[in-house]
Structure 1
Amino acid sequence: MKKVLTPARGAIAAALLVGLALPPMAQGQLRQALDTGEQATRKAEQVQEQINQLDDQRSDAVSEFRTLLQRTQAAQLYARQQEKVVESQRRELESLTEQLGRVDEITAQTTPMLLDMISDLEAFVQADLPFRIDDRTQRIADLRAAMENAQVPIVEQYRLIIEAYKSEMEYGRTIDTWPEDIDVDGKTVTVDMFLFGRVALVYMSPDRKYAARWDREQAQWVPVESKFKEDIAQAIKVAKGTTTPSVLYAPATRLDVEL
């Protein structure tokens, strides 16, 4: 509580000094007046205390109001930012809805192109050297099955076709050898096939009794002369990795593909 020296309190102090010289009756009247003054002083102090409390409450209210005002402004700023985000999402949703509406149109245009790509690949395999025919033919059959399967999305169909094209391209950049059973003069003979990119396809039996190359123009196997057997044997060793790489020679014929 704040103590305040009021004019009344000062007058009471002065009256006490003066009252000592007054008669008893006058002293009683003075005492009553002093008591009244003292009550007024206490009342003034109580009023002042209430004023102080109200002032503190006012300060607290002002501080709380400022805090609420800052929070309100922050909330309004956040709301404006969220409105921009919602508007952006709305435009994106409209764009996606429009794109979804065009899916059927895009699919209708893309499917014939994919089927043509498979047909072109099949024609190329048929005109190419006849190596790993079973694997390559099965790959094309798998592509056609994927095109007819409603569970395979068009994106996956496209990916499978591209992978098949990549596999065919890889054959032209590598040399390879593998054992294979072929028919020679009516009997089954196990030979080593040798593929030199797409330049040449030859085979030779391990005992070097049989050796031939594929002739594109005649579309058949043509026996090779004995003088080439050593080169073929060397090429097979290089492909197997059993000897160091060296220069390889092979007959080349033009590849014509009618699409």
Structure 2
Amino acid sequence: MSKVSNRTKIATALVGALALAGSNLVVADPLKEVQNADAQIHADAAASQKKVDSYFDQAQDMLFEYGSVADEREALKAYNDYLASLVADQEKTMKSIQDDINGVDKLRQGVVPLMFKMVESLEQFVALDLPFNTEVRKERVENLKNLLSTAEVTLAEKYRLILDAYSIEREYGTFVAVTTGKLNLDGKEVLVDFFNLGRVALYAQSLDQKTGWMYNSETKGWDKLEDSHLRELTKGIRIARKQGALDLFALPIPAAETAK
């Protein structure tokens, strides 16, 4: 081979080497751009991940808050249901009370006339009964009559006092008592001991124990007792005053058909 050819080969090789070197220089710039782009991608990915984490945390917080709100809602619903049941029960109670009030008004219309009738009957009873504790009993009836016209006393209290008066009159039927007072006989007053055997009989005896009488419900007067009864009458009076031992004594009593 000639020297020209060798030189040509050398020149060709140099040209190829330069061409290759130029080619590497050209390829180097896109690679760097790729690397930069990859770094940016990683940076953007990291930033995005931070945003995702932030959104996740917010979502968790919102989920927890939602759960709390839901629990509170259920609690409020249960409480509202409870209040609704209370209101319904109160409304039912109010209706019952109103019905009772309406019933009381109707009852009042019937009770008031009844109370007047009871006091009137009690007054008649005292007038027809044996004349013992007469002033006290008449005064009690008068107080009841005045009470019925008093607005300051409730209807229930008026009714209670009337029942109390009836209870006292009932107790008079079983009590035995002696009181000292004046007996009017033919316009003359005599100081006597009144001996009360419940509503069975009423007697009177002069303080000197020499005369005795028995009340006659039919004639509204006093019948004189025979002397044979005076000792028994004295015994009964002493026993009633607890001045003597308990013992039997015999006294005449009004016949059953005439006793009041």
Task: Give me the TM-score of the superposition, normalised by structure 2.
Answer: 0.70
Please list, as runs of the form range in 1=range in 2, the aligned pairs for 1:156-235 lying within 5 A after superposition. 156-184=157-185, 186-235=187-236
Task: Give, as a single letter, the amino acid of the residue that structure 2 aligns with 1:106.
Answer: L
Contact persistence 1:127–1:256 (CA under 8 A):
no
- The RMSD of aligned alpha carbons is 3.5
| Percent identity for Structure 1 against Structure 2 | 27
- Extract unaligned runs of 5+ from structure 2: 1-34
Partner of 2:239: 238
Partner of 2:151: 150
Q: Distance in 1 between matches of 2:136 and 2:257?
A: 21
Deviation at 1:148, TM superposition (A): 1.9
Contact persistence 2:210–2:230 (CA under 8 A):
no
Q: Distance in 2 between matches of 1:190 and 1:243?
A: 22
* Cα pair distance change 1:57/1:229, threshold 3 Å: farther
Task: Give, as a single letter, the amino acid of the residue that structure 2 aligns with 1:159.
Answer: R
* Cα pair distance change 1:121/1:67, threshold 3 Å: same
Q: Distance in 2 between matches of 1:60 and 1:257?
A: 99
Q: Distance in 1 between matches of 2:207 and 2:241?
A: 14
Q: Distance in 2 between matches of 1:72 and 1:177?
A: 82
Task: Give, as a single letter, the amino acid of the residue that structure 2 aligns with 1:155.
Answer: A
Deviation at 1:213, TM superposition (A): 1.1
* Cα pair distance change 1:106/1:51, threshold 3 Å: same
Contact persistence 2:180–2:194 (CA under 8 A):
yes
Please list, as runs of the form range in 1=range in 2, the aligned pairs for 1:31-110 lying within 5 A after superposition. 62-63=63-64, 65-110=66-111
Contact persistence 2:194–2:202 (CA under 8 A):
yes
Task: Give, as a single letter, the amino acid of the residue that structure 2 aligns with 1:226.
Answer: D
- Encode CA deviations 1:216-241: one digit per residue, 9 max, x unaligned: 23221111122222222222222222
Which one has a bigger Cα radius of gyration?
Answer: 2
Q: Distance in 2 between matches of 1:145 and 1:103?
A: 23
Task: Give, as a single letter, the amino acid of the residue that structure 2 aligns with 1:135.
Answer: V
Q: Distance in 2 between matches of 1:144 and 1:137?
A: 11
Partner of 1:113: 114
Partner of 2:131: 130
Q: Distance in 1 between matches of 2:259 and 2:158?
A: 25
Q: Distance in 2 between matches of 1:146 and 1:167?
A: 18
Q: Distance in 2 between matches of 1:182 and 1:124?
A: 22
Contact persistence 1:190–1:205 (CA under 8 A):
yes
* Cα pair distance change 1:124/1:60, threshold 3 Å: same
Contact persistence 1:177–1:239 (CA under 8 A):
yes
Secondary structure class of the residue paired with 1:135:
helix
Aligned length: 227
Secondary structure class of the residue paired with 1:180:
strand
Q: Distance in 2 between matches of 1:257 and 1:247?
A: 22
Secondary structure class of the residue paired with 2:244:
coil
Task: Give, as a single letter, the amino acid of the residue that structure 1 aligns with 2:165.
Answer: A
Q: Distance in 1 between matches of 2:168 and 2:135?
A: 14
Contact persistence 1:175–1:239 (CA under 8 A):
yes
- Encode CA deviations 1:109-151: one digit per residue, 9 max, x unaligned: 2222222222222222222111111111111111111222233
